[in-house]
Chains A and B, each alone.
Chain A
Amino acid sequence: MKRYGEHRIPGRLFVVEGIDGSGKSTQLLLLHQWLRAEGYGVVFSEWNSSLVVKDTTKRGKKKKLLTPSTFCLIHATDFADRMERNIIPLLKAGAVVLCDRYIYTAFARDVARGMDPKWTRELYSFAVKPTLAFYFRVPLEIAMKRLNDSRNGFKYYEAGMDLELSVDPDESFRLFQARILEEYEKIVPEFGLTVIDATLPIEAQQAQMRQLVGAKLAQAKQLRVAP
């Protein structure tokens, strides 16, 4: 069983992290398009998408069955399935893998929900260490404004309503995300995440990402090109 940082595999793994409304998914999509145009064999993997576990997570959320511990464990199960079934085999085959959210999301959210930080980190110690992990740093107010403009209302767990911080979903979201931001700030130095200023224009952020990713890919010798 290999631990974080012990895998030696030819592929490259890039992940984006940040709170909702930080713009990380947009940036990853733009990076994906660029890598495809460059001819790399690129695969995209989304948080919370394992087919085997999805029904259970969905049920748990819909019926509000999840506590901080089961929320944490069921997401770890989902992540493990994607790791064992997709991410590791793809990286072994020399693919470039892109992940929208990674273990740092779990560290931030689960610890914000009261889970033990050390325990949670050990739980995910089977994860492959990313080639680069980008953290999109954004002030809470800007993220909330972006979210308010683009959709109406927050979902129950997204707003941390299970923690009973406030009966008002907007207020609960604000309090919960503030806790998550606090956790991310601990994670950034601990795991050496690459910080991107998410208040900059989209193109400027993307240019930074492409430069950093490009440098890592130039060093890689055994990458798979798209068929």
Chain B
Amino acid sequence: MKETYGVALPGMNLGDLVGKLIVIEGTDGVGRSTQISLLKEWLEQQGRAVLDTGLSRSGLAGKGIKRAKQGHTLGRITLSLFYASDFADRLENEIVPALRAGFVVLTDRYIYSLMARAMVRGLAPEWVRNVHAFALKPDATFYLRIGVDDLIPRVVFSRGFDYWESGMDLYASEDMYDSFRRYQSALLEQFDKLAEEYKFEVIDASPDPRTVFEQLRAGILGVLLGEPQPVKGDGAPAGVAAPAPVDLLPVDSSPSPVLVRPEQPEKELKL
């Protein structure tokens, strides 16, 4: 049975949430959305209904947050609570109903990103934990980990530096490059602590997307089949070893009827 991190919301019944809640965490530009679209396609091919959701996509607060961030005028507590409002709205109106209907919910970031950002901005960890204590504990959290040095070229050569991703509200006196380095390094430090505390499965995000995808797929299969999670990432950040050999079509031997589609040729990954 699903449970929360300590606080139940009024009227939320956790007894019949039969779906799986799978979190993909990782810092800005690490490739989360690429992986999520690959995973969604793969899961749907396996016959699994998928809901994908992510920060500031709520019907209630999504637009308000985006507008407020354009003004660059939000205080750190306000920002944190605005995101928590957005999250609560998505939890009640998207995530929980989807889990009740048996969906696999893939969420692009979760409370951990919100917590890391808040703590980097100096908010007290106990307060931050309490704010998010109504969140559901996920079935698994995969943390796409990358070092700042590997991250920078990805950002430079794709979308460029963004005001908030560079933590310019924190390090306004520096240029965006220096500020980005400092902010993302501080975030990574927080993520590493959270990874330990909340038992993330750490995946090295520096190899090519296909390699990363294969690891994610193997991990998610484990969750779906109810297998125990491979214990990895004992504080194994930077050099999470070369990916363990992964059986590319473990579904062949799967006893689960939903997953069996052995004739399906493996689809070419467009990366």
Contacts and interface: CB of A to CB of B under 8 A. Distances in A.
Contacts of B246: none
Size bin of chain B's contact surface:
35 or more
Contacts of A84: 75-78
Contact of B88 (A53, A69, A81, A114): A69
Contacts of B9: 67-69, 115
A52 B68 CA distance: 6
A55 to B, nearest CB: 6
Contacts of A114: 10-11
User: Among A65, A73, A74, A76, which residue has the most Cβ atoms of chain B within 10 A?
Assistant: A73
Interface in B116-132: 122-124, 127, 130-131
Interface stretch (A122-130, A150-158, A176-184): A122-130
Interface in A111-137: 113-116, 119, 122-123, 125-126
Contact of B64 (A55, A67, A73, A122): A55
Interface in A23-82: 50, 52-53, 55-56, 59-60, 65-70, 73-74, 76-77, 80-81
Q: DSSP majority for the A interface?
A: helix
Contact of B124 (A1, A74, A76): A1
Interface string B122-154: 111001001101100000000000000000000
B92 A81 contact: no
B187 to A, nearest CB: 18
Nearest to B10: A114
B60 A126 contact: no
A56 B61 contact: yes
Contacts of B78: 50, 52-53, 77, 80-81, 84-85
B105 interface: no
B127 A68 contact: no
B121 to A, nearest CB: 9
Interface of A: 1, 3, 50, 52-53, 55-56, 59-60, 65-70, 73-74, 76-77, 80-81, 83-85, 113-116, 119, 122-123, 125-126
Interface of B: 7-11, 59-61, 63-64, 67-68, 71, 73-78, 80-82, 84-85, 88-89, 92, 122-124, 127, 130-131, 133-134
Given A53-B78, A74-B85, A116-B7, 6 more contacts: A3-B124, A56-B64, A59-B64, A80-B75, A80-B81, A85-B75
26 contacts: A52-B64, A52-B73, A52-B74, A53-B68, A56-B60, A56-B61, A60-B60, A67-B92, A68-B10, A70-B88, A70-B92, A73-B85, A76-B81, A77-B78, A77-B81, A77-B82, A80-B78, A81-B74, A81-B78, A84-B76, A84-B78, A113-B10, A114-B10, A116-B8, A119-B133, A122-B127
Closest 9 interchain pairs by CB? Answer: A84-B75, A114-B10, A56-B64, A73-B85, A77-B81, A80-B77, A80-B78, A81-B78, A1-B124
